[in-house]
């Protein structure tokens, strides 16, 4: 089994979720920094805005399904 087939079959694996969160945090940080410097924010404020934009983008794109509960057998 090739690596690509393995990750296409399991899109919700730990590595896929981790790389997806890294990707969206980088995109969110870039967007937050670009927009805040465009509007003339100081560099320190731009870094803070980029952090919160990255956090918001990751939280919006992650799965929000509750974990499955296992049934107890008595």
Note down the domain range covering 53: 7-61
- Whether the Cβ atoms of residue 25 and residue 34 lie closer than 8 Å to each other: no
pTM of structure: 0.64
Residue 14 lies in a domain: yes
Average confidence (pLDDT) over 38-54: 92
pLDDT at position 14 is: 75
pLDDT of 1 over the 50 cut = no
pLDDT of 32 over the 80 cut = yes
> Rounded to the nearest 5 degrees, what angle is found at the Cα of 57, between the Cα atoms of 35 and 69?
170
Residue 71 lies in a domain: no
Total number of domains in the chain: 1
Average confidence (pLDDT) over 31-38: 93
pLDDT at position 6 is: 53
pLDDT of 40 over the 80 cut = yes
Residue 26 lies in a domain: yes
């Amino acid at each position: 089994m090739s690596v690509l087939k393995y990750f296409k079959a399991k899109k919700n694996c730990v590595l896929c979720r981790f790389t997806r969160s890294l990707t969206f945090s980088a995109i969110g940080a870039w967007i937050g920094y670009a927009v805040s410097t465009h509007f003339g924010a100081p560099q320190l404020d731009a870094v803070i805005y980029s952090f919160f934009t990255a956090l918001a983008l990751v939280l919006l794109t992650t799965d929000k399904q509750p974990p499955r509960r296992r049934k107890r057998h008595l």
